Chains A and B, each alone.
Chain A
Amino acid sequence: MIDVSAHLGHYAFRRLRHNTAAGLVRLMDRFGISRAVVASAASITYRNPQSGNEEVASEVEAQRSRLIPFAVLSPVYAGWEDDLKICSEQFGMRGVRLYPGWHNFKLSDPRCRDLVNAAAARGMVVSIPVRVEDRRQQGWLVDIPDVDPDEIAGLIRACPKARFIVQNAGGLSGSALGRKDGGLPENYAVDLGRLSVEFGNEIGRLLTVLGEDRLLFGTGIPFHYPGPALVKLEMLRAPDAVKEKIRSKNAERWLGLAGG
C-alpha cells in the first residue's frame, strides 16, 4: 500500500505525533502501509520552504526504501530555481508540493506555471493539497481557505506535460476536475483521503469519470489518522483489481517507482 499524502516534521499550529521518519514508519507498519510520499509540514509556514526540505532530506536518509520525499517550494520566494535543482539532484526528491494559500501566490501566476514546468522537465510530480486543516480548526493567526478546484483545473490545463496529484480534496464533482466534460488532459490523479463513499459515493463517481488508473491512496498521516482512508477503501464497491490499483499500482506508475 502506498500513501501519497504523508508529511514529516513539525506543524506550526498543532503538535504532531509520529512525525519523524522512524515514527512515521512505525505508524505505517501498524496499518500495513509499505511506502509513503512525505514532504515538510514545517515548510507550510516557513517563509523559506527550502529549510524544511533540507530537514526532510536528512530525516528520510535512513528510510529511503519506505519514504519518498517531495519538496515544498514557492514560486514567489527567491531562489526556487536553485532549490528545485538541489531538491531534485542532491536530495533525490521525486516531486513538488505547492501550498498557494499558505505561501501567498495564485496557481494562475505565470511564475507558478514556470515552477510546474521546470519540475515536469525533471520528471517530478506536482502535488497540490487542497486543504491543510479544516477551516473550523484554524487558529487566530491564519485563515487560509481551501484551494479552489477550478484554479487547480486551470493550472492542469496550462501545463499538460506535468503530472499532478490533487491531494486531500473533497467535493470535486462540481468542478472540471470531477467531470467527464471538464476538458482537462489526463495528467492528474486524485487521492481518496477526503472523498466520500458512504453517502454520495464520490469515489465511485470519480472512478467512472477519471477511470480506474487515476485514483490514489492517501491518508494525510501524521496530521490525520490512517484509518479513515482505509475504511473508505474497505467500503468502496469495486473489484479487487481496481482496489489494488488504488492501493499501490496507480501510485507506482504515477510516481515512476519500480514495479509500476
Chain B
Amino acid sequence: MGVLGPGLISRRSFNAALGGAGAALRGFGRQSGKVKVIDAHSHLSHHSSPRWAERDRQLIDAADALGIDQLICSILGPRRPAVPEDFRQSNDWVAEAARRYPGRILGYCFVNPGYAKEAREEIARCIEKLGFVGIKLYNDYLASEPVVWPVVEQAIQLRVPILHHAGHTYWLSPPQPRISDGGTFAELARRYPEAIIICAHIAGGGDWEWTVKALRNAPNVCIDISGSVVDEGTVEMAVRIMGADRVLFGCDMSMTASVGRIRSADISETDRAKILSGNIERILARRRA
C-alpha cells in the first residue's frame, strides 16, 4: 500500500465494512491484480509551477495508495485561450511524464481547435508518433461549433476518443462563456455518430441530473464520473439512464472523492468493473484494431 502508514484501515477491512457492496470491491486495485483501474480523466502539473515534479509524484503516490493502475493525463496551461506554442509544450511534458512513469501515464493530446492547422499537426504528432490515446478539448469553443468539426473528424479517422470539458450550471457561466454541456455533446454526437466523446467530470460540472438526461439518447457519448462533488446517487443514475457501458471512472485530481464514489455506488459488480476499466479499455482498443 505504498504511502499508507501504520494504523490505516486496510483495504480488506474497509471493504468488509462495506458489507454487500464491499464483496465485489475486494480485488479493487493494482495489488490484487483482479480489477484493473484506469483514471480516464487526470492531469499532470504545468511546469510553470516550481513544484511540478513533486506534484506529479504526489499524483502517482495517491494512485498507488488508492489502487489506480493507469491515469490518462493532459496538461492545460494557465494562458487562455491556449496558443500552439503552449499546447505543444504541454503535450511534450505529458510525453516526458509517460516516459518517467512507464505504464502508469497515458496521454491526451490537448489542443485549441481555433488554430486549425497547428491543432491538426499536433494531434497527428501526439497520436501517431508519441502514442497518445486521445484528444483533450477545453472551453475554447463549444463542442458543436464548426471550428471543432475538423478535430472530431480527425479523431474519427485516428479512432481515438475526445475528452471534453463540460458543465451545466445556473449561476457560474460567465467566466466560461463557451463551456459545453450534455446538450452540446448530444448535438455533436448526432452530427458525428462515429465519434467517441467523453463528457468530462459529471461530479464537477454542475447539475449532473440534467447532464445525464441530456445524454440519454446520445449513444456515442460517455461520461466520466470525476469531480469533487460526492452527491449520493450520481453513478447509479448515470448507469440507469445511460447504461453502464457509457460510464467511465475518472478523478480529475479529486481522487479520494472519486474512489469513494465508485466504491459506494450501489451497482452490480459487473457494472463496477466496466466503469473502473472495461469501458475505457474497449474505447482505447479501437485505435489498435
Contacts and interface: CB of A to CB of B under 8 A. Distances in A.
A230 B229 contact: no
A167 to B, nearest CB: 14
B229 A227 contact: no
A143 B19 contact: no
B145 interface: no
Given A31-B17, A137-B207, A198 B58 contact: yes
A225 to B, nearest CB: 4
B253 interface: yes
A138 B206 CA distance: 8
Interface string A239-260: 1111100000000000000000
Mostly, the A contact residues are: loop
A168 to B, nearest CB: 10
Contacts of B7: 238-243
B24 to A, nearest CB: 13
B206 A136 contact: yes
Interface string A195-206: 011110000000
Contacts of A32: 16-19
Interface stretch (A11-19, A46-54, A98-106): A11-19
A225 B19 contact: no
A126 B209 CA distance: 33
Interface stretch (A88-96, A152-160, A216-224): A216-224
B228 A134 contact: yes
A242 B9 CA distance: 12
Contacts, number: 131
Given A30-B19, A235-B4, A143 B257 contact: no
B231 A224 contact: yes
B78 to A, nearest CB: 18
A229 B172 contact: no
B62 interface: yes
Contacts of B50: none
Interface in B169-226: 169-172, 204-209
A192 B256 CA distance: 12
Contacts of A134: 228-229
Nearest to A243: B7
B62 A199 contact: yes
Contacts of A79: none
B229 A198 contact: no
A115 B26 CA distance: 48
A136 B169 contact: yes
B289 interface: no
A197 B204 CA distance: 18
Contact of A237 (B4, B9, B19, B255): B4
Contacts of B66: 198, 231, 235
A197 B62 CA distance: 9
A230 B6 contact: no
Given A17-B232, A139-B207, A227 B170 contact: no
A228 B229 contact: no
A132 to B, nearest CB: 11
A5 to B, nearest CB: 12
B260 A240 contact: no
A223 B18 CA distance: 18
Contact of B172 (A135, A220, A224, A237): A135
A259 to B, nearest CB: 20
Contacts of B9: 230, 233-234, 243
Contacts of B263: 227, 230-231
A97 interface: no
Contacts of B232: 16-18, 221-225
A150 interface: no
B259 A227 contact: yes
A229 B260 contact: yes
Contacts of B228: 134
A225 B230 contact: yes
Which of B16, B18, B256 is the most central at the interface, judged by chain A CB atoms within 10 Å of its CB?
A: B256
Interface of B: 3-9, 11, 14, 16-21, 55, 58, 62, 65-66, 167, 169-172, 204-209, 228-233, 253, 255-257, 259-265
6 A-B pairs with least C-beta separation = A228-B260, A227-B260, A240-B7, A32-B17, A227-B264, A225-B264
Given A143-B171, A227-B230, 6 more contacts: A31-B18, A135-B171, A139-B170, A198-B66, A227-B263, A238-B5
27 contacts: A17-B233, A29-B19, A30-B18, A31-B19, A32-B19, A134-B228, A136-B172, A136-B206, A136-B229, A137-B169, A137-B231, A139-B207, A198-B255, A199-B58, A199-B62, A220-B230, A223-B232, A227-B262, A229-B260, A232-B256, A232-B260, A235-B65, A237-B3, A238-B5, A240-B6, A240-B7, A242-B7
